[in-house]
Structure 1
Amino acid sequence: MTRIIIEDSSVNDIPILSIYQSNLNKYPLIFFLHGYGSDREQAIDFGYMLAKKGFYYVSMDCKEHGKRKTNKEINRFTNVFPPDTGLDTYVHMHEIIEQSAVDIQNLIEYFKNRDEIDSNKIGISGFSMGGYASFYIAANNPDIKVSVPIGGKPAFTKAWKDTITSTGTYEQWSEQIRDAEREIDKRTEYFQMIDPYEKLSSFSPKPLLIINGDQDTDSLYIYSLELYKKLLPLYSEQPENLQINMPFVNHQFNYNMKLKACNWFEKHLGNN
């Protein structure tokens, strides 16, 4: 009898949620990263869907989220922008993304030592902040064989510059944005340092499915579309390994998107 196991545990002080079938020997491993302000339980139904297909699903609480939330945030940058702009939060989110890559590598090393895990079959997915992180980790971690970023942006520097420019067009913030030029430059240098956009070329020809709602105003699809166009020539010999899906939805991870992601992982990372 097949049973789906759901476990709450901790690895190296990283709280994780694992979902898997009880009767399999070698599991392909899928990591999922949640959105800003959420936690490891955000896409528990997605984990269940993947477990039914024979995957070992792991989600974690990212830095300062879920069980890791504290009253003492240690960040690279202090808050300098008008609170209503959300710019400080946006910068802070990328610091969390950077730490998430370190955390995922720690989890990979842990699961590589588990006999029931197929360490040659590791995939990553995530929504919103987790979508950004999926791009970032795919670009930097060779252990990742398949990636499905959802509702994220792959072009950190361009998105930041566009955000600053658009924020500066608002009359109530324009002067403060001009006065913060030096601080903006510091953060721009940071985004340039961690930006995965160019590095994602090295991910080819590994399977990459980009999902981004074409009504999504939180993560405009144009950044994902530009990456897709950039990568197309690199996938010319294996075009089935690169796909972009832009459903007519806003910033969400709905059932059809989850099913699309599950089928992609099953096709490219499953045991069939």
Structure 2
Amino acid sequence: MSKIIIENNTVYDIPIINIYQENAFNAPLVFFIHGYGGDREQALDYGYMLAKKGLYYVSMDCKGHGERKVINEANRFYNVFPSDSGLDTYVHMHEVIEQSAIDIQRLVDYFNSKEEINPHRIGISGYSMGGYASFYIAATNPDIKAAASIAGKPAFTKAWQDSITSTATYEQWSKPLRDVTKEIEKRTEYFRMIDPFDKLSSFSPRPLLIINGDQDTDSNYIYSLELYTKLLPFYEDHPAKLQLRMPFAGHQFTYGMKRGACNWFEKYLV
């Protein structure tokens, strides 16, 4: 096996980390999106595993994270919910997801001209927020040829509405939520606009791996199960290219999950 190179770089204004085999040429490219509050170094071991198999790994600092963290960041929505409810953070996370898709396209355009990369073999992967983003990017970017989402939710609108409904059952939050009904409607419309759930039907027959721990209380597996059920007819002629795995795990990116995602990309991109 060739020497593994790990390097930091900045493409346009996006800090990235690359992991690849020395003298890489025409290698499949896998982008990784980190979780909310993380940074581009979150899954270095995963990147190393992919590089060992001959893939070129790129992870970036998402909007407002890592070296892109700024004070008084400009966002689409201002805070309107009780701070301890977590709802404003949840909305902001989706703004980061939306920007991540834009950033990935910029990086795709950049790497398309590099001889180290095969521009026709590009995959997307991510954990937690990155799992959400992987669904969104797979649904909206035709350059993506394979995807592996870990601990994400593919149903943005339904998950948001469920969060509002469940939060309103708490006595200390029920009245504050009633007072911002119009703001909830604005954010609900935003979630509908970026929701990948229905759009993911068009991803078929490209390979889609969904990994969701069956003990995950942050990203309940029910949303992944509903997507899997919806997509089954679209993969009827290629059943092996759609897989849902629900290991006995919580909200985490375990070694077994990393190995499974790595093998997925080796199978369908290399």
Q: Which of the five TM-score ranges fits, normalised by the shorter chain?
A: over 0.9
Q: Give the Å deviation of 1:24.
A: 3.2
> In the alignment, what sits opposite 1:222?
222
The correspondence of residues 1-272 of structure 1 with structure 2, limited to 5 A, is 2-270=2-270
Q: Give the Å deviation of 1:23.
A: 3.3
Per the alignment, in what secondary structure is the counterpart of residue 67 of structure 1?
A: helix
Alignment partners' CA distance in 1, 2:182 and 2:257 = 41
Per the alignment, in what secondary structure is the counterpart of residue 145 of structure 1?
A: strand
Per the alignment, in what secondary structure is the counterpart of residue 24 of structure 1?
A: coil
Alignment partners' CA distance in 1, 2:204 and 2:2 = 36
Alignment partners' CA distance in 1, 2:250 and 2:25 = 39
The one-letter code matched in structure 2 to 1:184 is I
Gaps of 5+ in 2: none
Alignment partners' CA distance in 1, 2:73 and 2:85 = 20
Q: Deviation string for 1:130-188 (max 9, x for gaps)?
A: 00000000000000000001000000000000000000000111111111111100000
Alignment partners' CA distance in 1, 2:190 and 2:149 = 22
Per the alignment, in what secondary structure is the counterpart of residue 144 of structure 2?
A: coil
Alignment partners' CA distance in 2, 1:5 and 1:204 = 34
Q: Which piece of structure 1 moves more, 17-26 or 210-219?
A: 17-26
Moved over 2 A (4+): none
Per the alignment, in what secondary structure is the counterpart of residue 243 of structure 1?
A: strand
Q: Which piece of structure 1 moves more, 4-13 or 23-32?
A: 23-32
| Aligned residue pair count | 270
The one-letter code matched in structure 2 to 1:262 is C
- Structure 1 vs Structure 2: percent identity of aligned residues? 70
Alignment partners' CA distance in 2, 1:267 and 1:115 = 22
Q: Deviation string for 1:12-68 (max 9, x for gaps)?
A: 110000000013322100000000000000000000000000000000000000000
Alignment partners' CA distance in 2, 1:106 and 1:115 = 17
Per the alignment, in what secondary structure is the counterpart of residue 94 of structure 2?
A: helix
Q: Deviation string for 1:56-107 (max 9, x for gaps)?
A: 0000000000000010210111100000100000000000000000000000
Q: Give the TM-score normalised by the residue count of structure 2.
A: 0.99
Q: Give the TM-score normalised by the residue count of structure 1.
A: 0.98
The one-letter code matched in structure 2 to 1:121 is R
Q: Deviation string for 1:101-142 (max 9, x for gaps)?
A: 000000000000001210000000000000000000000000
Alignment partners' CA distance in 2, 1:250 and 1:138 = 24
Alignment partners' CA distance in 2, 1:206 and 1:181 = 40
The one-letter code matched in structure 2 to 1:109 is D
The one-letter code matched in structure 2 to 1:86 is G
Alignment partners' CA distance in 1, 2:142 and 2:79 = 34
Alignment partners' CA distance in 2, 1:23 and 1:75 = 41
Q: Deviation string for 1:247-267 (max 9, x for gaps)?
A: 010000010000000000011
Alignment partners' CA distance in 2, 1:50 and 1:127 = 15
